[in-house]
C-alpha cells in the first residue's frame, strides 16, 4: 500500500505540471508567433519481484513480475507547427512562412531568436522588435522614409520623401535549427540557443531550408483552444483517478492497521 501511495502521488504531481503547461498555452492563444508546449512523460523505475524465465524451467511463466513506481514529466517541448496568418496591411508587420527565426541582439550582446514579426522603427531609425531589440544584421532607415517594402526573400527597400527612387537598405537574414524544440524559451517571445538545439543555420529567406517572408501579415499562435481544453479535461480526470488511488490505498492501509490477532 505504501508503494501505491507513492506511485499515485507521482501521477498527481505529473498531471499538475501538465495542467500548468496547458494553462500557459491557453494564456498565449493570442500571442503573435507563440508556439505551444507539449508535455512529455515517462514511467519510473520498476521493482522486479520475479525475473523472466524459460518455459522449460519448471513451467514458470515466461514473463517477469514487475511493479512500476509511477510517472514523471521529463520535458516540455515546443511544437513548431505553422500558425495561421493574419493580414494586417501594415508595412512593418512581417510573418515567417516556414522554418526560421528573426535574429535579435540581446542587451547582454548575445543573439536571441523570435517569430514575433510586429516590427517597429526606434528613435535611432533601426528596425526593432516590439521590445526594442534591434534585428541582426542591423537595418537602418533614412529619417525621411515614406514607404517600405520587404519582399519574400528579405530584401528591405525604402523610398524617401520627394523622390520616386527606391533604395535597398539591407537584407534580413533568418536562422533555423536542426532541433528547434531544443531551444530555451526565455519569455518575451524570445528563445535562446542551447546544445540540444544545435548551432543556427543562417541564410536569406527561401534558402537553406529557411522559410520566406510575407509583408503585411502576422503569424498567429499555433494554440488550438479546443484541443487544449480537451487536454485539460483529460489531465483533470487523470489527477482525480490518481487521488482516488491515494484514498483507496489509505483505506486499505487502515484496514491492515486495524487487524487484530
What CA–CA distance (Å, rounded) separates 92 from 49? 65
Instruction: Please say if the pLDDT value at position 53 is more than 80.
Output: no
Is residue 69 within 8 A of residue 83, CB to CB? The reply is no
Q: Quick one: 89 and 212 in the same domain?
A: yes
pLDDT of 22 reads: 96
How crowded is residue 139: how many other Cβ atoms within 10 Å of its Cβ? 22
Q: Quick one: 165 and 241 in the same domain?
A: no
Q: How confident is the model at residue 243 (pLDDT cuts 50, 70, 90)?
A: confident
Q: Quick one: 35 and 107 in the same domain?
A: no
Q: Quick one: 150 and 94 in the same domain?
A: yes
pLDDT of 1 reads: 57
Q: Quick one: 115 and 214 in the same domain?
A: yes
Q: Quick one: 132 and 244 in the same domain?
A: no
What CA–CA distance (Å, rounded) separates 64 from 62? 7
85: CB partners within 8 A, 6+ apart: 95, 97, 214, 217, 218, 219, 220
- Give me the mean pLDDT over the 174-200 stretch: 94
Q: Quick one: 65 and 94 in the same domain?
A: no
pLDDT of 260 reads: 62
Entry pTM: 0.83
Range of the domain at 28: 2-80+223-257
pLDDT of 43 reads: 86
Structurally, the chain folds into a number of domains equal to 2
Q: Quick one: 62 and 133 in the same domain?
A: no
- Give me the mean pLDDT over the 191-213 stretch: 95
Q: Quick one: 104 and 18 in the same domain?
A: no
Q: Quick one: 120 and 166 in the same domain?
A: yes
**Percent of the chain whose predicted confidence (pLDDT) is above 70:** 94
Q: Quick one: 152 and 173 in the same domain?
A: yes
| Average pLDDT, rounded, for the chain | 89
Q: How confident is the model at residue 20 (pLDDT cuts 50, 70, 90)?
A: very high
Per-residue pLDDT reduced to its tens digit, 128-151: 999 999 999 999 999 889 999 999
Q: What is the DSSP string of 143-211?
A: TTEEEEEE-TT-EEEEEETT---EEEEEE--EEE-S-GGGSEEEETTEEE--TTT---EEE-TTSTT--
Amino acid at each position: 500500500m505504501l508503494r501505491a501511495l507513492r506511485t499515485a502521488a507521482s501521477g498527481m504531481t505529473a498531471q499538475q505540471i501538465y495542467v500548468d503547461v496547458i494553462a500557459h498555452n491557453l494564456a498565449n492563444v493570442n500571442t503573435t508567433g507563440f508556439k505551444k508546449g507539449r508535455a512529455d512523460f515517462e514511467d519510473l523505475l520498476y521493482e522486479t519481484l520475479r525475473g523472466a524465465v524459460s518455459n522449460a524451467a519448471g513451467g514458470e511463466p515466461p514473463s517477469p513480475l514487475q511493479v512500476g513506481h509511477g510517472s514523471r514529466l521529463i520535458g516540455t517541448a515546443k511544437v513548431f507547427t505553422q500558425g495561421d496568418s493574419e493580414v494586417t496591411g501594415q508595412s512593418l508587420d512581417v510573418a515567417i512562412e516556414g522554418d526560421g527565426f528573426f535574429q535579435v541582439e540581446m542587451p547582454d550582446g548575445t543573439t536571441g531568436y523570435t517569430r514575433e514579426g510586429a516590427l517597429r522603427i526606434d528613435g535611432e531609425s533601426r528596425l526593432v522588435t516590439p521590445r526594442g531589440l534591434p534585428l541582426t544584421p542591423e537595418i537602418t532607415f533614412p529619417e525621411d522614409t515614406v514607404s517600405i517594402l520587404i519582399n519574400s526573400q528579405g530584401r528591405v527597400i525604402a523610398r524617401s520623401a520627394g523622390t520616386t527612387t527606391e533604395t535597398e537598405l539591407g537584407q534580413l537574414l533568418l536562422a533555423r535549427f536542426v532541433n528547434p524544440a531544443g531551444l530555451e524559451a526565455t519569455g518575451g517571445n524570445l528563445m535562446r540557443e542551447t546544445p540540444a538545439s544545435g548551432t543556427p543555420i543562417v541564410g536569406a529567406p527561401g534558402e537553406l531550408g529557411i522559410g520566406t517572408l510575407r509583408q503585411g501579415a502576422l503569424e498567429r499562435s499555433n494554440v488550438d483552444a479546443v484541443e487544449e481544453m480537451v487536454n485539460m479535461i483529460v489531465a483533470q480526470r487523470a489527477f482525480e483517478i490518481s487521488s482516488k488511488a491515494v484514498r483507496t490505498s489509505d483505506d486499505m492501509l487502515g484496514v491492515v492497521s486495524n487487524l487484530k490477532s
